[in-house]
Structure 1
Amino acid sequence: MWWDEDWDDAVRRLFPAVVRRLVARHLAEADAQDACQEAWLELLRKPCALRDRDRLEAWLCTTARRCSARMIARRAREGAAPPRSPEPSPETRVVLAERDQKLWSVVADLPDRSRRLLYLLAHRPELSIAQIAADLGVSPASVATLRRRCCERVRRRLQAEGFQRG
């Protein structure tokens, strides 16, 4: 199949992204992971359902949303309320805001192409690799390397300023 070489990389890259989108839609983390896993299983069961491999992330998001809707409907029929993601404490919100502010200030200091790449990855997740490459003026094959280098540069800078991974 077309994904034989790319399967591990696709799962590693897209699973967290799809889960984050489901959690943002007020689904509990565990339920979001279950729905995402169900979407991947659906792809394995019906690989022809994905007509355009460049649309894999969008297909997974849509399929995972449908899986989560079925999960919620099933619970409603069974009389159980779906668990909600806990609301972060005020302290947690302050720490997250500080982290986000520092992250984007580090990104703002990057060269233009690196800054644009990270912006597109963070704020335009629906774009395909080909679309990102076209926007940056690079080949699609070089996007992953550029992304890795940008993220490593940001990671080193944040660690130098006292932020820890985790």
Structure 2
Amino acid sequence: MTLETDRGGGPTRGVMLDPSVQQDPKLRLEIGICGVTKPDGTEVLEIVAASDLKAGQEIFNTYGEHGNAELVNKYGFALTDNPFDSVKLNKASLVEIATKQMGNDVCQQRCTFLRDQSHLLEEDLEPFEVLPKGNIGPSLVMALRVLFAPEEDFLCWHNLD
């Protein structure tokens, strides 16, 4: 991909954009995702820099804070050690495992509590995610805390209603 700029007396061409390199924190680019077809039929992506650029200056393009699944799907590449990569867990599978561990009655009581007090068990909301380096997302932390809390803790929460 090349960058064209018309600042400073005519177009400048030949600056390569490398999506695998982090953006320089001193340079802020505002991208209007807008494909433009020039009169000669050439298709270009216009990128507007928020600060002046020198002819031939290297710039870096960022695709945003996306996991590898989305990067591959939208842009056709993945990043090694992507800090935004995550694995989503199926909520029904988690409840099934909790049922095997605690028994049906206890698990159903806690799932009812979670459904009454939150949206944590709704499949399309609050995803249960395992994040890079083994961390887990806040919705999964809360669901596990309620599902596997000691009985005394759970009864205290349940009696708050």
Identify whether the pair has TM-score above 0.5, normalized to the shorter chain: no
The TM-score normalised by the length of structure 1 is: 0.24
Q: Which has the higher contact order (CA 8 A, sep 6+)?
A: 1
Mark the structure with the bigger radius of gyration: 2
The structure whose residues are more often strand, as a share, is 2
The structure whose residues are more often helix, as a share, is 1
